[in-house]
Amino acid sequence: MTDTELDQPFPTLLSTQIRRGFTAAQQYLAAAVYLDSNRLPQLAKHCYAKSDEQRAHALRMVQYLLDRDLGIQIGGLDEVRSTFESPRAAIAFLLATAQTRSGQITGLARAARQSGDYLGERFIQWFLKEQVDEVAKMTTLLTVIDRSTSDLFDVEDFIARELRAPQRVDNATPRMAGAAKN
């Protein structure tokens, strides 16, 4: 996050992050389609799921702004890359974008704290935890690809075996816009 961005109010920065979140969802979708077209169903499923997750994150941010009665408008997306040199390049690109998003989310937390928006700071904590998890999983996946010595079937087996763990229930998860109220 640039110094100019840090001068903006937290809700404005969060609106920008919503666009980035929807862009991330579309980017994972584009990568999933690329991987699916290369007949790598486990890698594709992983990216389809990450696309849904990123969309859900953006909708959680939307709901936060709605709950606080702050202005929100949904606009266009940033550029999405849909072609890659290889499956490894696709995963490396997704890892790099996840690392960038981690920096952006950290910047949101910093901006909320510096502006005294303690509700915003508390809200963004959940996303910080999610980013640590996302970067760790993508780093592991890229490491497995690199160690597979070009045998992507080993990678497919790893994903089916190791990355399909049951989803944990996190009671601190913010509610998504459009989701049923508890």
What pLDDT was estimated at residue 168?
65
- Alpha-carbon gap, residue 152 to 30, rounded angstroms: 19
pLDDT band, residue 46 (cuts 50/70/90): very high
What integer best gives the mean pLDDT of the chain? Answer: 91
Instruction: Please enumerate in sequence order all residues whose Cβ is within 8 A of that of 27, keeping only pairs 6 or more positions apart, or say none.
Output: 51, 80, 81, 94, 97
pLDDT tens-place string over residues 72-115: 999 999 999 999 999 999 999 999 999 999 999 999 999 999 99
pLDDT tens-place string over residues 167-177: 666 667 888 88
Kindly list the distances between the CA atom of residue 62 and the CA atoms of 24, 43, 55, 58, in Å, as whole numbers in the listed order: 15, 29, 11, 6
Is residue 178 pLDDT above 70, yes or no? yes
Is residue 125 pLDDT above 90, yes or no? yes
- Alpha-carbon gap, residue 99 to 136, rounded angstroms: 10
More confident residue, 162 or 46: 46
Is residue 71 pLDDT above 90, yes or no? no
Is the Cβ–Cβ distance between 90 and 98 less than 8 Å?
Answer: no
What pLDDT was estimated at residue 149?
79
- Alpha-carbon gap, residue 177 to 62, rounded angstroms: 6
